[in-house]
Amino acid sequence: MGEAFDRVGFVGLGRMGTPMVRRLAAGGVAVRGHDAAPGVAEGLADVLTPMPSAAAAAEGAPVVVLMLPDSGIVEKVVDGGLLDALAPGTLLVDMSTSEPLRTRALAERVAERGATLVDAPVSGGVAGAEAGTLTIMVGGPDDAAERLTPLLALMGRVRHVGGTGAGHALKALNNLLSASHLLATSEAILAGERFGLDATAMLDAINGSSGRSGSTETKWPTHIVPGTYGSGFTAGLMVKDLRIALGLAEAVDAPRGHAERTLALWSRAVGTLGPEADHTEIARWLRERPEEDQ
């Protein structure tokens, strides 16, 4: 079931937002889009109507989607005029990777306007956004999640995982696992190479064994072995997500020793590689850095 929305406002037209908008447009949805970077929305006039502000994109739209870097920017956009532009009954969908506790607080303010905030972060990267195969982790009221499902399904596989903030919590925890897998995989493959094993042969065997993961099945063979490092997701964003996951673990007093060590290593890598480096470059950092710096 759900509702077939025919128009949306969309704020944030970066590496993820742009292919997501293209999927919506291909599904027959009229998109009113805005991005803070000059000229970005105008460059997508074939798939959306460019709007001069987030508030303008939201006016008259039953659904407004945010695809922004973090909670701070989400709150800046909402407080910068978007909140006042939301009509009662509007569904504000934060598809950014935001902080779950801040999401809950923001949802309360949105509710005061008679609108509903739904968090719906995604996993799958730029390739998943282009193919419409993202995993979309939805947090929010049951009725809002159900209404949004047909629209979100144009961009990927929709999973309603709980109440407000649940999507953002799960996305951060997912990326904690992803970051951990990539570190462990890279250390294992590099150790095998130094022993004399071939990386491709190792990956082929591991992918039929218990050690397989997204890192062995996709990241290493697609981005690391050929040296292209082109996943489209930065190391800086990975560190941001790790901090969210660790903050969540601290807030609920969950075990976090492994998370702390993972964040420490990724932070060192970003200190060398720079935040804009592709996150798969951590394998290169491990290969090139002396052990005492790791």
Catalytic hit among 76, 171, 219, 240: 171
Sign for the CA dihedral angle at 38, 39, 44, 46 comes to positive
* Catalytic residue check, 76: no
Give backbone dihedrals phi and psi of 253, rounded to 5 degrees, phi first: 55, 50
Q: What share of the chain is helix, strand, coil (3-state, %, to 5)?
A: 55, 15, 30
d(CA 104, CA 123): 21
Contacting residues for 244 by C-beta, under 8 A, at least 6 apart: 97, 98, 99, 100, 168, 172
Please tell me what DSSP assigns to residue 20.
H
Cβ 187 vs Cβ 41: under 8 Å: no
Beta strands 156-162 and 91-94 are: unpaired
Catalytic residues: 171
